[in-house]
Amino acid sequence: MTLDEAMTLVDYDGPAYNYHFKADEPKKMNAFLNKHGFAVVRDVIDAETAKAYRDEAMRILGKAKEASWHSEWNYAELAPVFCQILKNEKFLAIYREMLESDDLMLVRASALIREPGSRSRVWHTDHSIHKDNPKNRDDILLGHDWLRGCFFYVDGCEPRRGGMVVVPGSHLPDWPGPEGFRLDRPSHILYREDNPSEPYRGMDLPGAFPLHARPTDLVLFHARTWHTNHPHLGRGDDSRVFVRMNLRPAAQHFHTPWEQSQTVREFIDKAPEYLKPFVKDYRGVPHQYLI
């Protein structure tokens, strides 16, 4: 699909959801999230903080190559400004409610920068089903029901600039997938039945719902919610930045078979007081860890 074709597909006229919540209604938000698989919380950070997160991501990653995107998964160690989200009481109240735990532990933080002209990703879930028989790093880190997608789109999330699109209800265990498509749960990607060799990335997946959020909002989705992002149809210097943080209930331990790196050990040892409880069991995110 070309970007021009994509442009004709992003206008959406589907069911209306009132999916924007205030930060002081985490219970209401979480009930919606559990029912529909996604939610947006308004103004969890202020505009100045959104800009600080953006500037820090640009400083660390820089622009991606023309019409492409790049990301950094060891972002917590590199981004002290973003780590300060763990001082934000609104953010913490939301996470405590979602994970039903007062004691939270860092799993990973990441930043992603997408340039105008970059195409959408393939439809996928971030959750892996290989938790008991992991094959790689993401199976180990992400194959858990507590996983929540948790993003600040610090340039805003909107369909024409690479915004997130989800399928409401697709997190439910008996979701069959849209007619004419085959879900490949082991790889957590999906295919059109008449094109079994190419993972699907079209915006016209039946049920697809584009999310709108402001730079100060928090975009949330469930572990098994099927999602992708739109092609970035902006122009010129319009780099789109997002940062994310995944936390787990601290009591839910799991084995990570890799050595903790020197950088991760130093990050934990030198963590300021407020951060220590959230990172004491942080294991880092090794590049390309295969089992």
Ligand X SMILES: O=C(O)CCC(=O)C(=O)O
Chain residues in the site for ligand X (CB under 6 A): 112, 121, 126, 164, 227, 229
Among 56, 72, 115, 126, interactor with Fe ion by CB under 5 A = 126
Q: Please state, in angstroms and rounded to a whole number, the distance separating the CA atoms of residues 21 and 147.
A: 20
Residue 229 contact partner, candidates ligand X, Fe ion, none, CB within 5 to 8 A by sort of partner? ligand X
Nearer to ligand X, 96 or 121 (CB): 121
In this structure, what token pair is assigned to residue 72? 């950094």
Nearer to ligand X, 221 or 282 (CB): 221
Nearer to ligand X, 244 or 268 (CB): 244
Shortest reach from residue 229's CB to Fe ion, in Å: 8
Stretch of 12-20, 126-134, 230-238, 240-248 lying at the interface with Fe ion (CB under 5 A): 126-134
Nearer to ligand X, 205 or 275 (CB): 205
Residue 164 contact partner, candidates Fe ion, ligand X, none, CB within 5 to 8 A by sort of partner? ligand X
Nearer to ligand X, 227 or 248 (CB): 227
Nearer to Fe ion, 126 or 158 (CB): 126
- The 3-state DSSP class for residue 46 equals coil
Residue 105 contact partner, candidates ligand X, Fe ion, none, CB within 5 to 8 A by sort of partner? none
Q: Select the residue whose beta carbon is closest to ligand X and give its number.
A: 229
Shortest reach from residue 162's CB to ligand X, in Å: 6
If you count them, how many residues does the chain have? 291
Shortest reach from residue 121's CB to ligand X, in Å: 6
Shortest reach from residue 164's CB to ligand X, in Å: 5
Strand partners, 191: 182, 199
* Helix 26-36 / helix 89-99 crossing angle, nearest 10 deg: 50
Shortest reach from residue 72's CB to ligand X, in Å: 12
Q: Select the residue whose beta carbon is closest to Fe ion and give its number.
A: 126
In this structure, what token pair is assigned to residue 170? 């697709």
Pairing of strands 20-21, 38-41: parallel
Strand partners, 181: 192
Residue 51 contact partner, candidates Fe ion, ligand X, none, CB within 5 to 8 A by sort of partner? none
- What residue has token string 């098994």? 224
Nearer to ligand X, 36 or 114 (CB): 114
At residue 176, what are phi and psi to the nearest 5 degrees? -80, -15
If one asks whether residue 138 binds Fe ion (CB under 5 A), the answer comes out as no
Shortest reach from residue 124's CB to ligand X, in Å: 7
Nearest Cα to 5, choosing from 236, 228, 204, 199?
Answer: 204
Residue 147 contact partner, candidates Fe ion, ligand X, none, CB within 5 to 8 A by sort of partner? none
- Which CA distances in Å does 247 have to 158, 165, 279? 25, 22, 10
